[in-house]
Amino acid sequence: MSLYQIFLSNTGRPIHKSGHYFFAYERHFGRYVGHPVTFLEIGAGNGGSAQMWKSWLGPLARIVTIDINEVCRQYADEQIAVRIGDQSDPQFLQSLLDEFGTFDAVLDDGSHHMEHVTKSFDFLYKRIAANGVYMIEDMHTAYWSDYGGGRGDPRSMVERFKGLIDDLNADHVTDGTVAPSYFTRQTVAMTAYDSVLVLERAPMINKFMKMIGDDTQRANY
């Protein structure tokens, strides 16, 4: 059953999702289905989404869900761990790493406030698995002033994402304005959807360009 089918057939705790998110979910998290994975969900909501991830990812998945609301503790079970804390608190985030180890995938469906989103990203991204996936959803809030955003506002995670495109391509910037960083060396792809941002890491990125074939047949222009 696809993740979207699991969502549509849900009769348990409520799940609040936009339908087009499932294309991104299945595209980027599908690699983990049926495999051992440690999956961090920021924002427990009503508890239904953690059950959805558990059902889709399979019995080898360990789901860790965090929230600031104490009531969310009731969503824990044999495969889902719930921890209460602030997603923007580095000490709390470090405690998760100390307890559960490296996360293979992170889904930020937390407060959607720019301050919280950026602090979570700054701390966690460099600490997820070397081939991990970091996804942030509901980023329409990056355009809303009530959430600390706005078009062109430097606090916006969407604006941050735009700037990271230059970091991704820093090896090709010849004027010295962008220096290669850990992000350049560890990021293989960035994907933007309506309201969803995805960043994918890779332990080794083969950027060397090659020409393969019979050189005598090269076109002359």
Is 113 catalytic? The answer is no
Of 16, 20, 112, 113, which is the active-site residue? 112
What lies within 8 Å, CB to CB, of 87 at 6+ separation is: 42, 43, 66, 68, 93, 108, 110, 111, 116, 119, 120
DSSP code, position 68:
S
Structure tokens at 149: 């955003």
Structure tokens at 129: 């698995």
Structure tokens at 180: 């290669």
Q: Do 44 and 54 form a contact (C-beta atoms < 8 A)? A: no
Write out the catalytic residue numbers: 112
